[in-house]
């Protein structure tokens, strides 16, 4: 890294002379194409400029070099010794230019480029994978990178520009003005507990007094689960006894499986455990169903890269596993 920084510094600090500034890279591309075609008209057609434009560029380049670079030869041109030598050195510039054009066209078609995503933990584990599979199948050339964070951190990454698109499962009290929000379905929170802790049946309706004695495990502050469950409890005047606070839904689920207590988790996160009987979901009589909407947050569509726009299309098309 230190070596790269030194090289970068040397490039930044280097000052170009007057003659160097007069050698436009476009002139080198033009000379390389003329060397290939031996014809100014053909070169002009390939470059998308006029024939006088090609001649003018060669003239400027010859003035910068201080030597004649080509001569007329019938309907075509012949390069001088100096022109041939410079054209040979310009081939790398031409190859790089063509590579850039190919890359730009691929990006324009949505088949190349980079897309940086940030998603809340629940979305990352249970929703995002199937979106990403569809995206990868349709756009295999895009460098796709995602990070799993809590909802508050996802918003920070999008605001800071570290991620182009974020996906969260909790509402934002004050969404920054530069961002928009797109709802793409949702899930619901369920209260689950190990059957070893209680003798209740799955989906049994119980009172808060029956479960309030059970220690409560919760996600960390800033998580979507925490931001949805605590206001729902407060709205009903219910005061849980917090026993353990863990980072990540999987950690909370594992603690509940080990009999630490009960807790609220996404219905998507515990579907298999409920089906197998490892956990039971209880319906708390005093508590309304806690439904959540999954939200994509990003800048307006016209400000997004084409890969990001393609991702929005797939997310809206695919939806999510469960609607609240």
The DSSP annotation for 291-322 comes to EEEEEEEES-GGGS-HHHHHHHHHHHHH--S-
How much is the pLDDT for 107?
67
How much is the pLDDT for 19?
53
Confidence (pTM):
0.60
Q: Which residues of 91-109 are buried (b: 16+ CB within 10 A; e: fewer)?
A: eebbeebeeeeeeeeebee
Is residue 252 within 8 A of residue 263, CB to CB? The reply is yes
The CATH class given to the 12-108 domain equals: mainly alpha
How much is the pLDDT for 324?
38
Whole-number Å distance between alpha carbons of 46 and 43: 5
Whole-number Å distance between alpha carbons of 155 and 113: 23
DSSP run (H or E) holding 151:
helix 151-160
Which tokens sit at 143?
Answer: 């460098």
How much is the pLDDT for 7?
37
How much is the pLDDT for 111?
66
How much is the pLDDT for 31?
92
The dihedral through the CA atoms of 154, 155, 161, 166 has a sign that is: positive
Which tokens sit at 154?
Answer: 């996802």
How much is the pLDDT for 228?
83
How much is the pLDDT for 13?
52
Whole-number Å distance between alpha carbons of 145 and 207: 45
Which tokens sit at 118?
Answer: 């940030």
Is residue 320 within 8 A of residue 168, CB to CB? The reply is no
DSSP run (H or E) holding 148:
strand 143-149
How much is the pLDDT for 321?
42
Residue with tokens 């075609």: 37
How much is the pLDDT for 39?
92
3-state secondary structure of 163: coil
Q: With respect to CATH, is domain 113-324 assigned 3.30.43.10?
A: no
- Domain extent listing, the chain: 12-108, 113-324
pLDDT digits (tens), the chain, 324 positions = 333 333 344 444 545 454 555 678 889 999 999 999 999 999 999 999 999 999 999 999 998 888 899 998 878 899 999 989 998 999 888 888 888 877 777 666 666 678 999 998 888 888 898 899 999 888 888 888 999 998 889 989 999 889 999 998 866 767 788 899 998 878 889 999 999 888 888 999 999 888 888 888 888 777 878 888 888 888 888 877 767 788 778 888 999 999 888 999 999 889 999 999 999 999 999 988 888 888 899 999 989 988 899 899 998 887 644 433
The two beta strands, 180-193 and 280-284, are: antiparallel
């Amino acid at each position: 890294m230190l070596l790269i920084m030194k090289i970068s510094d040397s490039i930044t600090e280097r000052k170009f002379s007057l003659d160097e500034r007069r050698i436009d890279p476009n002139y080198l591309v033009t000379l390389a194409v003329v060397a290939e075609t031996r014809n100014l008209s053909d070169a002009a057609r390939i470059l998308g400029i006029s024939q006088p434009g090609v001649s003018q560029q060669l003239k400027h380049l010859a003035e910068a070099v201080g030597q004649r670079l080509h001569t007329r030869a019938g309907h075509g041109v012949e390069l001088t010794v100096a022109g041939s030598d410079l054209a040979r050195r310009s081939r790398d510039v031409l190859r790089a230019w063509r590579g850039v054009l190919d890359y730009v066209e691929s990006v324009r078609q949505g088949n190349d480029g980079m897309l940086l995503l940030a998603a809340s933990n629940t979305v990352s584990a249970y929703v995002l994978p199937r979106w990403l599979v569809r995206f990868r199948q349709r756009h295999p050339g895009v460098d796709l990178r995602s990070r799993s964070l809590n909802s508050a951190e996802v918003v920070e990454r999008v605001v800071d520009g570290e991620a182009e698109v974020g996906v969260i499962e909790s509402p934002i009290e004050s969404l920054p003005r530069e961002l928009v929000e797109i709802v793409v379905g949702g899930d619901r929170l369920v209260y689950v507990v190990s059957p070893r802790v209680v003798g209740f049946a799955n989906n049994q309706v119980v009172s808060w007094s029956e479960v309030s004695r059970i220690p409560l495990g919760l996600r960390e502050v800033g998580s979507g689960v925490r931001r949805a469950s605590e206001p729902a409890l407060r709205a009903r005047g219910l005061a849980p006894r917090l026993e353990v606070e863990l980072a990540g839904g999987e950690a909370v689920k594992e603690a509940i499986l080990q009999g630490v207590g009960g807790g609220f988790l996404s219905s998507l996160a515990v579907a298999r455990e409920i089906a197998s009987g490892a956990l039971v979901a209880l319906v708390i009589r005093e508590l309304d169903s806690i439904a959540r909407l999954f939200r994509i947050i990003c800048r307006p569509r016209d400000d997004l890269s084409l890969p990001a726009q393609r991702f929005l299309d797939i997310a809206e098309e695919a939806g999510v596993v469960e609607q609240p």
